[in-house]
C-alpha cells in the first residue's frame, strides 16, 4: 500500500498468484498455437486453417487482456484533509443532452438538479447544459429546475441529505442515513415534494407541444444564464450553432464548445462531465476527486479522475450484463495499476489544462501560438492564461460583452483552422470522443486515476433490451476498430508513447471487434465438421488434448473466481458467459461490417444516440430475466444462424456418432456443441416465444 497526502493506493493482494496463472496459461496458449501449425498437413485443410485463424485471434486477444490483470489497484481518499472550502479550486459541470424524445427533459433536469446540489462551495461551482437539439423545452426545464433548486439545495444542506437527485430522494423510504425524521423535516419534505411534482408536470406539459421538443438542426447559437443568484451555483444554457452542412462532431463537438464558453464565463480549472441520464448520487464526489488534483505529488500529472459508470435501472438477473461488470470492476482497475483508466465519457473529473495544453509541461508552447491552437477570440486566450498560471486578474468585463464573445466561440465556424478536436480539447479522431481523448492524454504523458467508492457516485440508465444493447456495442466496437486501423493505432502511435503494458490495454480495445470473426468460426466450423465426422480437435486420449482441456478449465476457473470475489454468484457466472458470447459474436460481427463500410466510405460517419426513455413493457421483460429481441431482427440473424447450425449438427452428429462410434476423435467437438446448446437455452426460449406470439 502506498500512502499519499490525500489518498492511498492498494495493490491487489493476489498479485503473485495472478501472474503465475498468466504464465502457466501462456505456456498452454503457445503450445496450442504450435499444435495448430505443426498439425496443419495431417488434417482436412480448410477447416483446420479456419480454426487456426480463430484460435490465433483468440490467443492474441487473451494476451493483451492480461495487461488488465498484471497490476490491479484500488484507491481510497481522505477528503477530510482537503483545504478549507475557500481554498478549493473552481469546478464547472458539463451536462450534455440532445433529443428530448430519447432523453426525457424531466429526467435530464434530475441530473441537472443533482449537479447543482453538489457538496461544493456554490460560488466555486457552475453548471453548464449543452443542448444539441436546441429545444425550447430544455431552456424551460432549466428555469423550472433552478427555481426548485433554490429551495432544494438549502434543504439538502440543512439536513445533510445524501441523495440529491430529487427523484431518488422522494421515491426512497427515508433510508437516507442519519436523517432525523423530525416534524419539521417531514413538513419541509412534503412541501418540497409538492413543488417537485409541480415542476415535473409543468415541464411535461410544456414538452407535450411538438414544437417545443423537436430538435432544430439549423439554428443560431443560444446562450442564456439561467441562474446567477448567489444561493445556488451559476447555471448556464448553451445551444451551439448548428448548420446542416457543417459537421457537428456529436458530443465531442458539444464538449469543446462548452470548454470555450465556460472558459469565458467561470473558467474553473476542473470540469466534471456527466451524460444527461447520469445523475450525481453522492454529492461528495467532487471533493473525492480533488484529493487527486490537489495532492502535492499526484497533482502534477493527473489529467482526470474517473468514477465507474453505474446504473439505476438494473435488475437482479441483468441478463444482458448491462452493468458491464467486467469493464468497470476489472478493466479500469487494471489500467489504474499502470498509468490510469481510460476516459469513459461520464462521471469523470478532468483538469482543464490537461485538455488544452498538450503534455504536463508544455503550457507555454501552446500559448505562444495561441490563435492557431485555440482560435481567434482574444478574450478566450486571456482566460487560458489564467488557467495556465499566468494569473492576469480578470478585468471586470460586463456580462453582455462576455456573452457576445461566448456566442462567437460557440459558432460552428470557430474551430476552422484551429487545433480544436486535434491537439486541443476533445478529439474528433473517432466518434467515441471519450475513449480516444483519454488515449491521447495518456499518449501525451498524463496519468489518470480510478476511484470506485462503496456508494456509487453517478448512476445512469442502462439499455434493457437486446436491440439497445447491441446498438451500443456496435457503436463502440466499430469506432475502436477504426482507431486500430488509423494512424493513431496503439500498435504504431501508442507504442512509442505509452509504457508497454499500458499500451497493451489499448491494443486490446482496438482489437475487440475481431472477436466477431473468431466466434463466428468457432460457432460454425467445429459444428459442421462434427456432422461430417471431421475432427478439428485432438483425440481425447492424445496428450495434445490436455492442452485444450487446460485452457478451457483454467479460463473457467479464473472467471469463476473473479465473479465470486466481486460479489457475484454461480448463476451470474453462467449468465455472464452466455451474454458475453452473444454480445461478442453479434455486436462485434456487425462492428466489423460497419467499420469496413466506414473505412471505404460507404457509410456516413454517424452515431446513434442511446435511448434513455423508459418503456414499461420492455422493462418488465428485463426485470423478469426474459430475453427481448423486439426490433432486433437484423442483429438476430447471425445468432439464429449459429444456433440453427448448432442444433442441426448436434443431433445429426450424434446420430452419425452412434453409427460410426468414433467418440474419442469427436469428444472435443461434442463437448463444445453441448456447451453452446446449454448456454443458449434461454435465448432459444426467447426466440420461440417471440415466434409463437407472431412478433
Ligand atoms: O450529438 C450528440 C450526441 C450525444 N450527445 C450526448 O452525449 C451523451 C452520451 O450519448 P449516448 O448516446 O447516451 O451514449 P452512450 O452510448 O450511452 O454513452 C457512452 O458512450 C459515449 C461515447 O460515444 C460516451 O460519450 C458516453 O459518456 C458513454 O456513456 C448524452 O448525454 C447525449 O445527449 C450530445 O451531446 N451530442
Ligand atoms: Mn448512456
- Which cell numbers in the block locate residue 320? 444482458
Distance 275 CA to ligand 1 centre (A): 6
* CA-nearest residue, atom 32 of ligand 1: 97
Please pick, among 132, 277, 318, 465, the residue that the annotation labels catalytic: 132
State the pLDDT at residue 324.
Answer: 80
Lowest-confidence pick of 189-203, 439-453, 597-611: 597-611
Alpha helices in 457-569 (DSSP H): 466-484, 500-511, 514-532, 543-565
User: What pTM value is reported for the model?
Assistant: 0.96
pLDDT tens digits for range 552-571 = 999 999 999 999 988 889 99
Distance 102 CA to ligand 1 centre (A): 11
State the pLDDT at residue 688.
Answer: 82
pLDDT tens digits for range 645-690 = 999 999 999 999 999 999 999 999 999 999 999 999 989 888 887 7
- Which cell numbers in the block locate residue 258? 462548452
The yes-or-no verdict on residue 175 having pLDDT over 80 is no
* CA-nearest residue, atom 13 of ligand 1: 610
pLDDT tens digits for range 279-303 = 999 999 999 999 999 999 999 999 9
Nearest to 412 by CA among 609, 248, 222: 248
Q: Is 299 a catalytic residue?
A: no
pLDDT tens digits for range 114-165 = 999 999 999 999 999 999 999 999 999 999 999 999 999 999 999 999 999 9
The number of the ligand nearest the C-alpha atom of 311 reads 2
Tell me if 345 CB under 6 Å of ligand 1.
yes
ipTM of the complex in this document: 0.98
Q: Is 486 a catalytic residue?
A: no
Mapped onto helix, strand or coil, the DSSP state of residue 170 is helix
Locate the ligand 1 atom nearest the alpha carbon of residue 433 and give its number: 22
Locate the ligand 1 atom nearest the alpha carbon of residue 463 and give its number: 17
Give the Cα separation of 687 and 593 in Å (integer): 24
State the pLDDT at residue 655.
Answer: 97
pLDDT band at 605 (very low <50, low <70, confident <90, very high): low
Best of 103, 217, 345 for a ligand 1 pocket test (most atoms within 8 Å of beta carbon): 345
**HEC profile of 201-231:** HHHHHHHCCHHHHCCCCCECCEEEEEECCCC
pLDDT tens digits for range 368-408 = 889 999 999 999 999 998 887 765 555 678 999 999 999 99
Tell me if 463 CB under 6 Å of ligand 1.
no
Tell me if 132 CB under 6 Å of ligand 1.
yes
Locate the ligand 1 atom nearest the alpha carbon of residue 97 and give its number: 33
β-pairing verdict for 234-239 and 270-275? unpaired
* CA-nearest residue, atom 22 of ligand 1: 432
Distance 183 CA to ligand 1 centre (A): 43
Q: How would you classify residue 183: left for phi > 0, otherwise alpha for psi between -120 and 50, otherwise beta?
A: alpha
Please pick, among 114, 285, 383, 434, the residue that the annotation labels catalytic: 434
- Which cell numbers in the block locate residue 546? 490436455
State the pLDDT at residue 567.
Answer: 87
The yes-or-no verdict on residue 620 having pLDDT over 60 is yes
Best of 95, 96, 611, 612 for a ligand 1 pocket test (most atoms within 8 Å of beta carbon): 96
* CA-nearest residue, atom 33 of ligand 1: 97
Amino acid at each position: 500500500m502506498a500512502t499519499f497526502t490525500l489518498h492511498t493506493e492498494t495493490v491487489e493482494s493476489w498479485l503473485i498468484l495472478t501472474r503465475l496463472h498468466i504464465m502457466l496459461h501462456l505456456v498452454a496458449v503457445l503450445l496450442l498455437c504450435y499444435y495448430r501449425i505443426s498439425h496443419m498437413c495431417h488434417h482436412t485443410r480448410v477447416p483446420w486453417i479456419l480454426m487456426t485463424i480463430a484460435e490465433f485471434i483468440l490467443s492474441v486477444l487473451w494476451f493483451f487482456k492480461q495487461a488488465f490483470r498484471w497490476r490491479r489497484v484500488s484507491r481510497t481518499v481522505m477528503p477530510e484533509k482537503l483545504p478549507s472550502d475557500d481554498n478549493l479550486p473552481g469546478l464547472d459541470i458539463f451536462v450534455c443532452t440532445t433529443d428530448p424524445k430519447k432523453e426525457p427533459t424531466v429526467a435530464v433536469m434530475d441530473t441537472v438538479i443533482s449537479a447543482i446540489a453538489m457538496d461544493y462551495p456554490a460560488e466555486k461551482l457552475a453548471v453548464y447544459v449543452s443542448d444539441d437539439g436546441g429545444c425550447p423545452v430544455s431552456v424551460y426545464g432549466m428555469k423550472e429546475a433552478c427555481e426548485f433548486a433554490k429551495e432544494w439545495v438549502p434543504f439538502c444542506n440543512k439536513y445533510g441529505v445524501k441523495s440529491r437527485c430529487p427523484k431518488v430522494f422522494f421515491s426512497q423510504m427515508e433510508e437516507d442515513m442519519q436523517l432525523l425524521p423530525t416534524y419539521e423535516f417531514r413538513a419541509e419534505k412534503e412541501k418540497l415534494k409538492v413543488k417537485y411534482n409541480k415542476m415535473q408536470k409543468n415541464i411535461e406539459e410544456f414538452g407535450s407541444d411538438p414544437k417545443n421538443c423537436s430538435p432544430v438542426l439549423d439554428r443560431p447559437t443560444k446562450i442564456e444564464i439561467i441562474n446567477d443568484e448567489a444561493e445556488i451555483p451559476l447555471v448556464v444554457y448553451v445551444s451551439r450553432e448548428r448548420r446542416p452542412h457543417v459537421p457537428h462532431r456529436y458530443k465531442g463537438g458539444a464538449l469543446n464548445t462548452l470548454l470555450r464558453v465556460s472558459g469565458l464565463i467561470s473558467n474553473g480549472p476542473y470540469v466534471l462531465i456527466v451524460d444527461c441520464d447520469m445523475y450525481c448520487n453522492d454529492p461528495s464526489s467532487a471533493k473525492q476527486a480533488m484529493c487527486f488534483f490537489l495532492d502535492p505529488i499526484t497533482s502534477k500529472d493527473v489529467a482526470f479522475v474517473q468514477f465507474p459508470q453505474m446504473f439505476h435501472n438494473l435488475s437482479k438477473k441483468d441478463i444482458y450484463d448491462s452493468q458491464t461488470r467486467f469493464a468497470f470492476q476489472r478493466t479500469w482497475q487494471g489500467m489504474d495499476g499502470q498509468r490510469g483508466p481510460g476516459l469513459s465519457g461520464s462521471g469523470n473529473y478532468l483538469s482543464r489544462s490537461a485538455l488544452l495544453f498538450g503534455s504536463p509541461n508544455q503550457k507555454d508552447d501552446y500559448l505562444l501560438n495561441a490563435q492557431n491552437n485555440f482560435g481567434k477570440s482574444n478574450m478566450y486566450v486571456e482566460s487560458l492564461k489564467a488557467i495556465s498560471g499566468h494569473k492576469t486578474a480578470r478585468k471586470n468585463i460586463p456580462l453582455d460583452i462576455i456573452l457576445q464573445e461566448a456566442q462567437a466561440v460557440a459558432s460552428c465556424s470557430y474551430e476552422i483552422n484551429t487545433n480544436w478536436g486535434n491537439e486541443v480539447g476533445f478529439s474528433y479522431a473517432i466518434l467515441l470522443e471519450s475513449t480516444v481523448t483519454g488515449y491521447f492524454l495518456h499518449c501525451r504523458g498524463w496519468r489518470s486515476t480510478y476511484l470506485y467508492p462503496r456508494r456509487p457516485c453517478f448512476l445512469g440508465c442502462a439499455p434493457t433490451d437486446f436491440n439497445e444493447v447491441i446498438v451500443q456495442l456496435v457503436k463502440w466496437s466499430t469506432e475502436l476498430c477504426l482507431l486500430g486501423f488509423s494512424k493513431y493505432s496503439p500498435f504504431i502511435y501508442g507504442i512509442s508513447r505509452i509504457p508497454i503494458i499500458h499500451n497493451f490495454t489499448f491494443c486490446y480495445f482496438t482489437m475487440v471487434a475481431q472477436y466477431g470473426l473468431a466466434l463466428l468460426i468457432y460457432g460454425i466450423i467445429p459444428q459442421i465438421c462434427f456432422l461430417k465426422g471431421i475432427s478439428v480437435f485432438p483425440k481425447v486420449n492424445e496428450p495434445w488434448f490436455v492442452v485444450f482441456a487446460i485452457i478451457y478449465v483454467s479460463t473457467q476457473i479464473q472467471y469463476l473466481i473473479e465473479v465470486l470475489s466481486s460479489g457475484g454468484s454461480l448463476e451470474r457466472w453462467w449468465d455472464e458467459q452466455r451474454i458475453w458470447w452473444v454480445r461478442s459474436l453479434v455486436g462485434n460481427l456487425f462492428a466489423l461490417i460497419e467499420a469496413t463500410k466506414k473505412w471505404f466510405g460507404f457509410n456516413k460517419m454517424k452515431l446513434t444516440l442511446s435511448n434513455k426513455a423508459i418503456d414499461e413493457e420492455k422493462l418488465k421483460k428485463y426485470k423478469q430475466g426474459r430475453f427481448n429481441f423486439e426490433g432486433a431482427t437484423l442483429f438476430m440473424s447471425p445468432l439464429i444462424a449459429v444456433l440453427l447450425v448448432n442444433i442441426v449438427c448436434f443431433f445429426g452428429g450424434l446420430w452419425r456418432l452412434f453409427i460410426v462410434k468414433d467418440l474419442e476423435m469427436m469428444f472435443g467437438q461434442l463437448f463444445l456443441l453441448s456447451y453452446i446448446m446449454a448456454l443458449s437455452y434461454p435465448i432459444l426460449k426467447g426466440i420461440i416465444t417471440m415466434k409463437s406470439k407472431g412478433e
